[in-house]
Amino acid sequence: MDSKLDLTFTRIVDAPKEAIWRCWTEPKLLLPWFCPLPWKTIACEIDLRPGGIFSSTMQSPEGVTMPTGTGCILEVVPNQRFTWTSALLPDYRPSLTLEKCGGQDGGFMFTATIALEDCKTENGTGTRYTATVLHADEAGCKQHASMGFEAGWGAALDQMVAMIKKGI
Amino acid sequence: MDSKLDLTFTRIVDAPKEAIWRCWTEPKLLLPWFCPLPWKTIACEIDLRPGGIFSSTMQSPEGVTMPTGTGCILEVVPNQRFTWTSALLPDYRPSLTLEKCGGQDGGFMFTATIALEDCKTENGTGTRYTATVLHADEAGCKQHASMGFEAGWGAALDQMVAMIKKGI
C-alpha cells in the first residue's frame, strides 16, 4: 500500500466470509448486489483461476448498457483473498495498446512466458524451450518483432546453453 | 495465442530443463547470458513468486546504462513455466499512468484485492472485509476516489450483506 497511490476501506460485516466469497465469485450471486442501485449489473463472467476472466456489464437507470469492464484474475485464495486487474485481459494479455503507451520504441506492454518440457535430443534428453510474448494490439506486436524479438531472445538462449554446458 | 498479437519461438536445446529454470530465475545465473553480446546485463532482481519483481538493467557496448525494465511475475511452475508482465509493477501495481491511459473518466488502470478475515461481531462471528485498489499514479488514484470509490463499493457491500441475510 502507498497512501498516495492506493485506496482502501475496511468494514466489519455481519456475514461469514464463506458467503462473501461466494457473492464475489459466483456470477449468479454477484449480479444482485454488485452495482449501487439504481444501476444494475446485467451480465458477469468469472473464470476463477489466476489468468481467468473477471468481467461485468452494467446498465444505467435509463437502460443504457455500459461497455464491459474486462479484467484478469491474479490471486485466488478461497474464502480469503481475491485479486484482479484492469491492466491485463484474460490469460494475462496486456490491455493497453501501443498508442496509449506512448508509441515510442519499447513503449509497448507485453506479457512473456517461458515454457520448458523434457524432450529427446541427439545427445539424450534435452528441453523443448518455448518463449511467448503477448501484446495488446498488432502495433505493439509489430514493434517488438521489428526490434528483433526472435533473433535477440534466440541469441540469449544460445549464450545460456553454452554457459550450462560449461557447468553452472 | 493470437497470431496477429503475439510472438513465439520454440527451440529444442541440449540442456536439462532444471538448468534452464535456474538460469532464468537466479540473478547470478541470468546476468551472463540475458543480453545478446556486446550488450551486457549489469543488474537483475528476481523475487520468485506471483506478484514478485522481475527486473534487469542493461548496458550498451558504449557503456551507457539503460533504464531498468521492471515487471511483475505472474506464474511460477518450477522447471516448467515462468510468466511475467511489463503491464504491472511488483505486487500487481499497474505500470501505466492515467495520462498514458487516455485520461478520460474511468481511463485509469487499477488492481483490486478483496481480503476476508473472520472476526467477532455483536451477533457472533462475522468478517473483516478489506477492499484495496492500486493505481499507477496519483492522478489515477484521485480520479477513482472522486468517482466515489468508497461510497460505491461500500453501498454494494451493504447490498451483498442484506442479500446474504435473506439466504443465498
Interface contact B24, partner A, CB < 8 A: yes
pLDDT tens by residue, A3-17: 889 999 899 999 999
Chain A residues in contact with B67 (beta carbon < 8 A)? none
Single out the residue of B69, B42, B7 nearest to residue A148, CA to CA: B7
Class level of CATH domain A17-93: alpha beta
Contacts of B40 in chain A (CB under 8 A): none
Kindly state the percentage of chain B with pLDDT values over 70. Answer: 96
CB contact under 8 A, A12 and B156: no
8 Å CB contact of A82 and B8: no
Q: What is the pLDDT of residues B9-47, one digit of tens each?
A: 899 999 999 999 999 999 999 999 998 888 899 999 999
Distance CA B150, CA A87 (A): 21
Residue B94 DSSP code: B
Nearest-CB residue to B5 (from A34, A135, A154): A135
Domain edges within chain A = 17-93, 96-166
To the nearest whole angstrom, how far is the Cα of B65 from the nearest Cα of chain A?
16
Find, in chain B, the residue whose alpha carbon is nearest to that of A142.
Answer: B5
CATH code assigned to B17-92: 3.30.530.20
Contacts of B47 (CB under 8 A, 6+ apart): B53, B54, B73, B90
Give the tens place of pLDDT for each residue, B119-162.
Answer: 998 888 899 999 999 999 999 999 989 988 989 899 999 999 99
Q: What is the largest CA-CA distance in chain A?
A: 69
Contact B85 A100 (CB under 8 A): no
Q: Number of A:B CB contacts under 8 A?
A: 315
**pLDDT value of position A55:** 94
Say whether pLDDT at B103 is over 70: no
Task: State how far the Cα of B168 lies from the Cα of B154, in Å rounded to an integer.
Answer: 20
Contact (CB, 8 A) for B149 and B112: no
Flag if A116 and B159 touch (Cβ within 8 Å).
no
Q: Which amino acid is at B37?
A: L
pLDDT computed for residue A147 by the predictor = 87
B5 at the A interface (CB within 8 A)? Answer: yes
CA A35, CA A31: separation in Å to the nearest integer? 8
How far apart (Å, rounded) are the C-alpha atoms in residues A2 and A86? Answer: 19
B147 and chain A: CB distance < 8 Å anywhere? Answer: no
Whether the bond into B38 is cis, omega within 30 of 0 = yes
Whether A60 contacts chain B with CB within 8 A:
no
Low-confidence ranges of chain A (pLDDT < 50): none
CB-facing half-sphere around the CA of A72: CA atoms within 13 A: 20
Per-residue confidence band for B104, with pLDDT thresholds at 50, 70 and 90: low
Average pLDDT of B57-81? 91
- What tens digit of pLDDT does each residue of A29-62 get? 999 999 888 889 999 999 999 999 999 999 999 9
**Chain B closest CA to A137's CA: distance in Å?**
6
End-to-end CA distance of chain A: 38
- pTM, to two decimals: 0.89
The confidence score (pLDDT) of residue B123 equals: 84
For A94, the grid coordinates are 496486456
What is the SS3 string spanning A59-99? Answer: ECCCCCECCCEEEEEEEEECCCEEEEECCEEHHHEECCCHH
Do B36 and A156 lie within an 8 Å CB cutoff? yes
The DSSP output letter for B51 is T
The CA distance from A88 to A136, in Å, is 9
Q: Please state the separation of Cα B26 from the chain's center in Å.
A: 20
